[in-house]
Amino acid sequence: MRARDPYRPAHGSDAFHVEHYDLDLTYRVAANRLSGTATLRLRTLEQLSEISLDLNGFTVESVAVAGARLGRYRHRARKLVVKLAEDAAAGAELQVSVRYSGNPRPVPSPWGPLGWEELEDGALVASQPTGASSWFPCNDHPADKATYRTCLTVDSPYFVLAHGELTGRRVRAATTTWVYEERHPTSAYLATVQVGPYEELSLGASPVPQRAVLPPSLKKLARRRLAHHGKIMRTFTRLFGPYPFAGYALVVTADDLEIPVEAQGVSIFGANHLTDDDGERLVPHELAHQWFGNSVSVSSWQHIWLNEGFACYAEWLWSEAAGEASAADLARTWHARLTTLAQDLVLADPGPENIFDDRVYKRGALTLHALRSALGDETFFDLVRDWTARHRYGAVDTDDFRDLVEEHAARAGGEPLAARSAALLTRWLDSAELPAL
């Protein structure tokens, strides 16, 4: 049974699993007004008398349940609680439909506002880690992964991108309805829609279609700054294994954004990231999250180093492949910088307030580089490709990674290498003091 996330226990439920979300929504850009119906197909994991969903704001206009009799519902404190007239048995299949409307706004969090964000001309959704409830009722737990159908009607001048594949586009008078199907299991925080006066720019066709979605005024700059995107994708598929989704879209908003954020098959950048030096580094970082975080997701935010450590190390691997600074050089540079910072973060359990601490990113990457040095390139990258294949579309924790390292190390060098690798991971993951590189 899936456990409640110890870092965000108020979010999500471990009593049921959502198998599919059907979102039929209308968005009025000028008024920032979202309305429609969300239908959730779910399976109970235990006997339960109520279904607790995350939903921030909005007016809930009606709730219906199929597969059980509805008692009553209440919506407050960012929770929509649907009471059942009689308990549902473990394993029951239910369908919950919620009709709602309101002005979507980001969810407050210790890391800043998350989720639906109104732009100067449009909107974006960047929900990591707990912002999905800013636009639809959901089970906001990183390990609860579902398929999606997202149907969004907007004023016709606007382009809509959602995660998954575009399966329908209907123009009616002054509005256009866009329909996307996401057939891969997706965590709620990775569900997204992007609305703006956008056009598309091809970034590559192999091994999957890659495109930028952005204002026309940014196309020339993006064509130049993202000219090597296809090479990054081919490098990563060689190192990490097959790309896990049907395609990839890099959204660039006309607004400046503080940081880029990943979604399922999508990354969201601000216009500033096409001009500042940091953008060059962050393009491979966000692409790598499609393997590490999106396909292979964490079972709890405690294990975020498995997302961010790999994505940060991917920056170094691309630098190495592009003939710039080697991963070893970057590891030495960042190790020296980390020695000047507080030695009070345990990577395997950094604490909820520290999940986006830069030490999680850089120490995670250093852990992987140390492991690569111990195992050798052949064994290390075999391990990485096995990690992304074995846990494809699933959820993992740090012990899953330890187990796979032990397996590959034992195969490559017997018990001595397995023991050395386990000791290495203990030093890097479980000790607050930064080990020698």
| pLDDT reported for residue 4 | 84
| pLDDT reported for residue 294 | 98
Chain-centre distance for alpha carbon 318:
21
CA geometry: angle at 180 spanning 227 and 283, to 5°? 25
| pLDDT reported for residue 405 | 98
Q: Looking at domain 202-290, does it have CATH number 3.30.2010.30?
A: yes
User: How far is residue 296's CA from residue 421's CA, in Å, rounded to a whole number?
Assistant: 22
Residue 278's pLDDT band (cuts 50, 70, 90): confident
- Which CATH fold would you assign to the domain 1-197? Immunoglobulin-like (2.60.40)
Q: Does the structure show a pLDDT above 80 at 331?
A: yes
| pLDDT reported for residue 402 | 98
Q: Does the structure show a pLDDT above 60 at 339?
A: yes
| pLDDT reported for residue 276 | 85
Show the beta-strand stretches assigned E in 289-437.
297-298, 395-396
Residue 233's pLDDT band (cuts 50, 70, 90): very high
Q: Does the structure show a pLDDT above 80 at 425?
A: yes
* Phi/psi-derived region of residue 173, left when phi > 0, alpha when psi is between -120 and 50, beta in every other case: left
Asked if 26 and 174 touch (Cβ cutoff 8 Å), the reply is no
pTM of the entire predicted model: 0.97
What is the homologous superfamily of the domain 297-430 according to CATH? Neutral Protease Domain 2 (1.10.390.10)
| pLDDT reported for residue 354 | 97
Beta-carbon contacts of 62 under 8 Å, excluding residues fewer than 6 positions away, are: 98, 99
Asked if 236 and 388 touch (Cβ cutoff 8 Å), the reply is no
| pLDDT reported for residue 3 | 76
Give 96's DSSP letter. Answer: E
Q: Does the structure show a pLDDT above 60 at 75?
A: yes
Choice between 10 and 201, residue whose per-residue pLDDT is larger: 201
Determine what percent of the chain is predicted with pLDDT higher than 90: 97
| pLDDT reported for residue 280 | 85
What number is the average pLDDT over the span 236-261?
97
- Domain positions in the chain: 1-197, 202-290, 297-430
